[in-house]
Structure 1
Amino acid sequence: MSSFKSLNLNPLILEALTAKGYTKPTPIQEQSIAHILNKGDILGIAQTGTGKTAAFSLPILTNLAAHQVKLKPYHMRCLILTPTRELASQIEDNIKGYGKNLNISSAVIFGGVNPRAQVSKMAKGVDIVIATPGRLLDLMNGGHIKFDQLEIFVLDEADRMLDMGFINDVKKIITKIPQKRQTLLFSATMPKDIAELSRKLLKDPKRVEVTPESTTVEKIKQSINYVEKINKPLLLESILQDKSIKFALVFTRTKHGANRVVQHLERAKIAARAIHGNKSQAAREKALSEFKNGRIRVLVATDIAARGIDISSITHVINYNLPDDPKSYVHRIGRTARAGREGVAISFCEPAEVKLLKDIEKCINYKIPVDETHPFHGVPAQIVKKENVPAEKKELAGKKPQSRSYRRKRSFSSNSSKKQK
């Protein structure tokens, strides 16, 4: 593997990389940087944690610094379009870090905050704009965004744009940008709509695919915990009582579910915060900051909100609910085992989620090991006192529930008792 020094990047960028302790590029960086420096288009297929942000930002910074341009008001030289506020902020943080020794300006544009500061910054002209589609369209319609000087367009997390319903907004933006430009498209997966968009958007692109679609990181220790739905809060609590779990990211299916999980953990004296679309930008940033700084060790998130979380210290990912899309499982657990570290992914599976589990295992071509040692394995779907679970686990598993409504529900415990008969 080559070093960053051999990739013809700006020397001032190399100084910033050295200060961060980065010496060798990741595979996607090694395969992309030279082609982007030569102003070629890229079709990059890479899952979370492969280093794709640096793969495009390092050569973009080098090229912009090599040819300075006086920007007109409301104009930009590079547009990076991304699906979430968190990811936009994360990308700008990286760009500022890599380009701290360069005279390159940047700005983030996203919703959930007053647009006045964003408009004020654009009025001066900005080299690199990182934006979410909705707010960018709003500023475009208000006359605060101009594309006459645009040289580079980056579409990041293209598959997530599709999942979140932004694809039509993206297409509207594309019709307004110059035909003569460099285009870089990155996506973790390549559904038909994105493949079709890439054919229209890119000109003779280099395809960079560093891992097969929907593969999982080998350094992640995965497990399945079969559990009745009503016992999930107590199972999560019991897992998080382990103080060796320093940074845990918990995924729920819904925003309200995330709030309920946080409320349960706080009652159990476990510091946690929720991050999802109903939270204000200030609340989301505060929760992320507290998590990064170690003031809380549990962050509960929905898929959309978590897409931009790039925290290398996450040790555990816990799927409180299994995702409806099996490919989302790959993105979720990819939040751990970053920067060469190892990680743990624990997934809860209630009776109604068994089909989702089978779809996930088919997608990743891997049979996830089942953990039968956890204190709620085989415990019926009834409210139990957490302090009694370890001692009474076998007794509870053998009891038949009394309620008629329970007998009509699917459950692991009732299925296992039938087999025993």
Structure 2
Amino acid sequence: MTEPTFHELGVPAALADVLAAEGKTTAFPIQRDTLPDSLGGRDVLGRGRTGSGKTIAFSLPLVNRLAESGARTRPGHPRGLVLAPTRELATQIAKTIEPLAKAKGLSVTTIFGGVKQTRQVEALRGAVDIVVACPGRLEDLMQQREAVLDSVEVAVLDEADHMADLGFLPGVTRILSATPTGGQRLLFSATLDRGVDQLTRKFLSNPVTHAVDEDSVPQGEMVHRVLVVPSREEKTALVHELASGEGRRILFTRTKHIAKKMARKLTADGIPAVDLQGNLSQNARDRNLAAFAAEPGTPGAVRVLVATDVAARGVHVDDVELVVHVDPPVEHKAYLHRSGRTARAGASGVVITVAVEDEQREVSTLLRRAQIKAPFDHVTATSPVVDHLVGPRAAPVTPAPAPQPQQSGGGRGQQSRGQQSRGQQAARGEQATAQASRGQQQRGGQGQRRNEGAGTSSNNRNRRSRGGRGRGGAPAAH
């Protein structure tokens, strides 16, 4: 069956032309099924896994309705709202919406925690039309009266199931309750469990439901393999080999500390790598993602990203040929979302789970729940199957030398009192950081997921202390 073009689905020519300029002319199943209803103004409940093309499925009706309404956006009163669970996903969604919005004379901004709110407030005061936001920071700005949602004509909730997993549904409920009841609402999710169905009943009016079967999601061949090693030491050597190929690859770990350490070790060994984890500032996240997405051979480009589950949703980089579960995830959903970083939009890819021998039962259970069948190969780093999976090796890159410390003018072997004071301050800071790190490790599991989600301000932390739960990778844009 030949998929229809966007023109045939009723997408206005100006918007279809934007997609055509990006090489997107025919619709994916989730777009084919939902666009006739969403462009017609109906509330839509769309179910499909990450990578199915949901972002364009809701971006087109969002932009089209705002453009056709002819209303003017007032400062602090956006007319379009998209809620996303993580800052990475919010950024990716905004990138998809921006060229469509520009074609219709509309503006877009992102709102999330982990960065100063100054730019976000300025955008709102400048009468931005569409806001793509994480719940925590948006609620902060609503309490400050910088964001008022009484003019929202279209509200979109993306990755609703991930919102539920991270405990954001109370905040999402408060936000959607602040939008007008007569507006259009579009909810997209991979599953409809864990409270997502309650959101649907509360906020969607006579919705049309469209579910895309896994077999109909456009993707290339995704090969799953489990490589079993005899020891932790052999696992380290195997991961090094898997990272050494020429193409892009993402290595997933369970903890932030391991991700940071692994990226530094690979870089020191001649395999340029960057990390993506919850302790990084937003500027550092953006910088590392840009390095990973950069064309090979450009200055600063890397081919290896070491990430925690913060990157499992919301990070879409083309041509990721290999995903490695260095640490098998705890939940099967996390396995599927991690794996979805490869074999997207018709490309092919390989997903490898690395397991020490005593982890085989755990991995078998994980794959069964994910409904994935994969062979188990007992290997070492030098096994032929590993060589075949890695493919041609990239030439080693010598790391840049660390900058040399500046000599002071106070004589050899001496420090000025100011230098001593700075050294003492640095030492105290390192000690405080170490203590905080130990506390984070002791808190574990759920605390890590909160840290991995979209950052919130002190106001949100105060609200959590009064009984609320914590609040907060691109899905393919097409």
Which SS does the other structure have where 2:103 is aligned?
A: coil
Does the C-alpha gap of structure 1 residues 233 and 375 become closer, same or farther in structure 2, counting only changes over 3 Å? closer
Offset of residue 217 of structure 1 = 5.9
Letter in 1 for 2:308: T
Offset of residue 140 of structure 1 = 0.6
Offset of residue 68 of structure 1 = 2.0
Distance 2:313 2:307 in 1: 10
Percent identical residues: 37
Match of residue 190 from structure 2 = 188
Alignment map for 1:207-286 (pairs within 5 Å): 207-212=209-214, 219-227=221-229, 228-243=231-246, 246-286=247-287
Which SS does the other structure have where 1:69 is aligned?
A: coil
* Unaligned 5+ runs, structure 2: 384-478
Match of residue 60 from structure 1 = 62
Deviations along 1:255-311, whole A, 9 cap, x unmatched? Answer: 112112112212311100011111000000000100100310000111123421011
- Residue 381 of structure 2, aligned match among 375, 390, 398: 375
Offset of residue 337 of structure 1 = 0.7
Match of residue 329 from structure 1 = 335
Match of residue 414 from structure 1 = none
- 1:233 and 1:264 in contact (8 A); partners too: no
Match of residue 82 from structure 2 = 80
Offset of residue 26 of structure 1 = 0.2
Offset of residue 212 of structure 1 = 4.5
- 1:216 and 1:334 in contact (8 A); partners too: no
- 1:317 and 1:333 in contact (8 A); partners too: yes
Letter in 1 for 2:77: H
Match of residue 355 from structure 2 = 349
Which SS does the other structure have where 1:179 is aligned?
A: coil
**2:274 is equivalent to residue 291 of structure 1:** no
Letter in 2 for 1:240: A
Alignment map for 1:12-411 (pairs within 5 Å): 12-212=14-214, 219-227=221-229, 228-243=231-246, 246-293=247-294, 294=296, 295-351=301-357, 353-375=359-381
Deviations along 1:96-118, whole A, 9 cap, x unmatched? Answer: 12333220111100111110111
Which SS does the other structure have where 1:253 is aligned?
A: coil
Give the RMSD, CA atoms, in angstroms: 1.9
Offset of residue 93 of structure 1 = 0.6
- 2:249 and 2:323 in contact (8 A); partners too: yes
Offset of residue 166 of structure 1 = 1.5
Distance 1:158 1:64 in 2: 23
Q: Which has the higher contact order (CA 8 A, sep 6+)?
A: 2
Distance 1:319 1:58 in 2: 35
Distance 1:19 1:124 in 2: 29
> How many pairs are equivalent?
374
Does the C-alpha gap of structure 1 residues 325 and 223 become closer, same or farther in structure 2, counting only changes over 3 Å? same
Deviations along 1:303-329, whole A, 9 cap, x unmatched? Answer: 123421011221111100111111111
Deviations along 1:176-197, whole A, 9 cap, x unmatched? Answer: 2222221111111222421222
Offset of residue 201 of structure 1 = 2.1
Deviates more, 1:340-349 or 1:367-376: 367-376
Which SS does the other structure have where 2:353 is aligned?
A: strand
Which SS does the other structure have where 1:40 is aligned?
A: coil
Does the C-alpha gap of structure 1 residues 216 and 37 become closer, same or farther in structure 2, counting only changes over 3 Å? closer
Offset of residue 122 of structure 1 = 0.2
Offset of residue 216 of structure 1 = 11
* Unaligned 5+ runs, structure 1: 378-421
Which SS does the other structure have where 2:58 is aligned?
A: helix
- 1:321 and 1:348 in contact (8 A); partners too: yes
Deviates more, 1:314-323 or 1:225-234: 225-234
- 1:32 and 1:42 in contact (8 A); partners too: yes
Match of residue 409 from structure 1 = none
- 2:220 and 2:345 in contact (8 A); partners too: no
Distance 1:39 1:355 in 2: 49
Distance 1:352 1:218 in 2: 32
- 2:218 and 2:344 in contact (8 A); partners too: no
Which SS does the other structure have where 1:7 is aligned?
A: coil
Letter in 1 for 2:284: A
- 1:26 and 1:50 in contact (8 A); partners too: yes
Letter in 1 for 2:131: V
Distance 1:237 1:282 in 2: 27
- 2:151 and 2:179 in contact (8 A); partners too: no
TM-score by length of 2: 0.75
